Structure 1
Amino acid sequence: MQEFPTNPDRLPRPVSLLDDDGTTWQLQRKRIDLRIVRRLINDSAATIVLGESGGMHPRLVTDDERSTLWDKVKVGYMGPGGDWATGRYLAHEFRAEPDRRMLFVEHHC
C-alpha cells in the first residue's frame, strides 16, 4: 500500500491513496466524528486501514482486528467526539467509486 510523506491530516487536498489491488481512494472527509468511526468499523463492506507511525505507513486491517481496533479507538480518539489532549487515534474517510468507503485510522504514539 502506498505510504505518505506525512499523515493524511496534514496533506493538502486532493489526497489519494493507492492500495495493493490498484484501487485509488480519494480523501473525502478529515477528522470524522467518533460515531462515524464506529459505524464504519462495524460496516463489513467498508475497508479499514490503520496508518501506523502517525498515518505514514498504512496497512489493511483484517476482519479479526476490527473489534480490537474499535476497543482501542473509542478510548483514545483525538477527533470530534474524543479527547484531543490524550488521544492517539484520528480517522478520515476515503472513497473509491460512489459506493466504496474506507476508514483510515491514524495511530500516533
Structure 2
Amino acid sequence: MQAFPMNPDRLEAPVQLIDDTGTAWRLRKKRVDLRAVRRLMKDRAATVVLGESGGTRPRLVADVERPMLWDQVKDGYRGPGGSRTANRYLAHEFRTDADRRLLYVEEHC
C-alpha cells in the first residue's frame, strides 16, 4: 500500500490512496465522528487501514484485529465524539468510484 509523505489530515485535496490491488481510494471526509468509526469498524464490507508512524505508513487491518483496534481507538480518539484529552488516533473515510468504503485510522505516539 502506498505510503503518504505526511498524515492524510494534513494533505491538501485531492488525497488518493492506492492499495496493493491497484484500487484507487479518494479521501471523502476528514476527522470522522467516533460513532462513524465504530460503525465502519463493525461493517465487514468496509476496509480498515491503520496508518502507523503518524499516519504515514498504511497497513491493512485484518478482521480479527478490528475488535482490539476499536478498544484502543474508542479511548484514545481525538476527533469529533472523542476525548478532548486524547491524542493518539484520528480517522478519515475514503471511497472508491464503486462507492466502497475505507476507514483510515491514523496512529500517533
TM-score for both structures, normalised by structure 1: 0.97
Q: Secondary structure at the match of 1:53?
A: helix
For 1:54, the equivalent position in structure 2 comes to 54
Alignment of 1:71-90 (within 5 A): 71-90=71-90
Q: Secondary structure at the match of 1:91?
A: strand
For 2:16, the equivalent position in structure 1 comes to 16
Unpaired segments ≥5 residues, structure 1:
none
Q: Is the 8 A contact 2:31 2:90 kept in 1?
A: yes
For 2:32, the equivalent position in structure 1 comes to 32
For 2:106, the equivalent position in structure 1 comes to 106
- Cα displacement (A) at 1:49: 0.2
- Over the aligned positions, Cα root-mean-square deviation in angstroms equals 0.8
Letter in 1 for 2:52: E
Question: 2 CA distance for matches of 1:97 and 1:42?
Answer: 22
Q: Secondary structure at the match of 2:59?
A: strand
Greater mean alpha carbon deviation, residues 21-30 or residues 79-88: 79-88
- Matched residues, number: 109
- Cα displacement (A) at 1:54: 1.0
Q: Secondary structure at the match of 1:80?
A: coil
Question: 1 CA distance for matches of 2:70 and 2:18?
Answer: 24
Unpaired segments ≥5 residues, structure 2:
none
Letter in 2 for 1:78: R
Q: Which has the higher helix share?
A: 2
For 1:93, the equivalent position in structure 2 comes to 93
